């Protein structure tokens, strides 16, 4: 599908979908280097794609009203695993016996989450593809699917935000401070989703 309609879709909250999953082609996603078209490809090409489209999405009214952008990859580059992935088939991933790059969670990959509701910084918590699925499920109040049901798939969404707030309150209480930090922002779906569109 072409990206040409995207700027028009982003022009107003009414035309912006509550959820979009954007996947660039094999050249723009950094997978192929060089690309079949002759351009260099690799991470430089992925960077060019992100540089072109992320600012357009960030300028959209719905993004500015609590939107979320996740930039990630579909697989790691080695057999390293994270997040409790183990060798052998299990109910959560019966068709994939090994963890890591070829395993159920994609292995060790990076991800960048952008939102007006996210405080800048780096997380030391390990997340995998099922964590991303669980985060989306939390944001939209959906039931858990596949391995997102299991404890090793941690959410970066609303439930995790509540857990962090509770942890912060417990630390503050242990230091003798009884009040919560003054400003609390909560995750919320984009305006079009709140309006039931």
The DSSP secondary structure of 22-40, one letter per residue, reads ----TTTTS--SS-TTSS-
Amino acid 58: pLDDT: 96
Assess whether 187 and 197 both reside in one domain: yes
Assess whether 141 and 155 both reside in one domain: yes
- The domain tally of the chain equals 2
Q: How far is the C-alpha of 144 from the C-alpha of 151, rounded, in Å? A: 11
Per-residue pLDDT tens digits of the chain, which is 197 residues long: 788 899 999 999 999 988 888 989 989 988 888 999 898 889 899 999 999 999 999 999 999 998 999 998 877 776 666 666 666 556 655 556 665 556 655 667 788 999 998 888 888 887 777 888 888 888 888 898 877 777 777 787 665 555 555 555 566 566 554 333 333 344 444 443 333 33
Q: Which domain holds residue 125?
A: 66-197
Domain end point (choices 64, 95, 117)? 64
Domain end point (choices 64, 94, 118)? 64
Domain end point (choices 64, 88, 118)? 64
Assess whether 78 and 163 both reside in one domain: yes
Q: For the chain, how big is the Rg over CA atoms in Å?
A: 19
Q: How far is the C-alpha of 130 from the C-alpha of 148, rounded, in Å? A: 5
Query: Can you give the pTM of this predicted structure?
Result: 0.70
Assess whether 59 and 140 both reside in one domain: no
Assess whether 7 and 72 both reside in one domain: no
Closest CA to 16 of 70, 63, 66: 63
Assess whether 134 and 157 both reside in one domain: yes
Rounded to 5 degrees, φ, ψ at 90 are: -150, 170
Assess whether 86 and 179 both reside in one domain: yes
Assess whether 98 and 127 both reside in one domain: yes
Assess whether 173 and 88 both reside in one domain: yes
Assess whether 40 and 107 both reside in one domain: no
Assess whether 60 and 73 both reside in one domain: no
Strand partners, 90: 93
Other Cβ atoms less than 10 A from the Cβ of 90: the count is 14
Assess whether 60 and 70 both reside in one domain: no
């Amino acid at each position: 599908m072409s990206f040409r309609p995207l700027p028009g879709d982003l022009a107003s909250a009414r035309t912006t979908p509550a959820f979009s999953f954007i996947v660039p082609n094999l050249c723009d996603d950094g997978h192929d280097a060089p690309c079949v078209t002759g351009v260099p490809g690799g991470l430089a090409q992925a960077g060019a794609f992100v540089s072109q489209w992320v600012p357009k999405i960030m300028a959209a009214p719905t993004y500015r009203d609590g939107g979320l952008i996740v930039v990630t990859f579909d697989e790691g580059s080695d057999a390293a695993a994270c997040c409790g992935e183990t060798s052998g088939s299990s109910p959560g991933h019966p068709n994939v016996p090994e963890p890591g790059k070829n395993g159920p969670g994609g292995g060790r990959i990076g991800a960048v989450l952008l939102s007006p509701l996210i405080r800048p910084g780096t997380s030391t918590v390990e997340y995998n593809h099922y964590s991303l699925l669980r985060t989306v499920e939390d944001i939209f109040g959906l039931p858990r699917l596949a391995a997102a049901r299991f404890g090793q798939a941690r959410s970066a969404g609303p439930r995790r935000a509540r857990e962090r707030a509770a942890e912060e309150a417990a630390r503050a209480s242990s230091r003798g401070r009884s009040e919560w930090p003054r400003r609390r922002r909560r995750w919320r779906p984009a305006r079009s989703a709140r309006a039931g569109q």
